[in-house]
Amino acid sequence: MTLDRFIKIQYREDRARTERLRKMLRELGIECARTIEEKVDLQFSALLHLRESLEDDETFIKLVIANALISYQLNATGEEWWREFSEYFSRNPPGKSIKNAYAEFLRTSRTNRRLITGKLKRLQRIEPFLRELTLREMENYYGNMSGFRNDLSGVLGSKRTAKTIVFSVKMFGYACRIVFGHFIPYPMEVEIPDDIRINAYTRRFTDAPPVIFWNRLARDVGIPPLHIDSILWPVLGKHAEVRERLKKHCPQADLVLMLREI
């Protein structure tokens, strides 16, 4: 039995609604996702500011990886958390230990105050991996982001589909795009972050697990799941500045916003 056949048997799906979504995503395409990532996403803007302030590309990328891995159970929006991260480390570059730097940062953070002990333990586990990474190896990983996902999940003992693992791949891609100056699309096999907003939106179309639904849809429309996540971000988020930037920078803004009406 094929996977698609299994899905049709096991899961409810509103095929008419899914087809409207499929057509809209095909019309938007991967370049729309890239525009949203680079011109609309406030997290990308926060990384631009940090990189300019640090003037140390290797440390910059390592900080981005570390920060993505503890971007959960926040006390504010993701945009506010990444802005605080950028501002803090622009003023306080880390020393040899990123984990120790975060012990100071999280102690005073306004936007990430929950589960600090667990987050610091996670950084302690990943620190040897980050310490050994060279800028050349990071560039190689940029060309093999599936391999980066696999190695990251292996070091942490997490599932490859875990939300923070695939989100770390996304932010790693942002950082590398900034440092190395060229765009490499995310791999088709790296899943969409399965968070509350994606889970709720998926329920409009199917009761299948979001990862299964979006992986299949991604293949149909030719847009990798992490880029679909970027298109959905302004639609499912509540940040007014994101909506304003979308209308300013994205020629297809009206079509993007129509996704919330499906």
Residue pLDDT, tens place only, 47-104: 999 999 999 999 999 999 999 999 999 999 999 999 999 999 999 999 999 999 999 9
The pLDDT of residue 4 is 53
pTM of the prediction?
0.94
Residue 142 has pLDDT above 50, yes or no: yes
Angle made by CA atoms 171, 67, 226, in degrees to the nearest 5: 25
For this structure, is 195 an active site residue? yes
Class of residue 68 by CB neighbours under 10 A (exposed 0-12, middle 13-18, buried 19+):
buried
φ/ψ (deg, to 5) at 206: -165, 160
Tell the residue number behind the tokens 């909506």, with chain if given. 243
Residue 178 has pLDDT above 80, yes or no: yes
DSSP, res 182: S
The pLDDT of residue 6 is 44
- What gap in Å lies between CA 71 and CA 4, rounded to an integer? 33
Determine contact, residues 148/172, Cβ cutoff 8 Å: yes
Q: Which one from 56, 151, 195, 220 is the annotated catalytic residue?
A: 195
Q: Which one from 62, 99, 119, 163 is the annotated catalytic residue?
A: 163
φ/ψ (deg, to 5) at 220: -65, -40
For this structure, is 163 an active site residue? yes
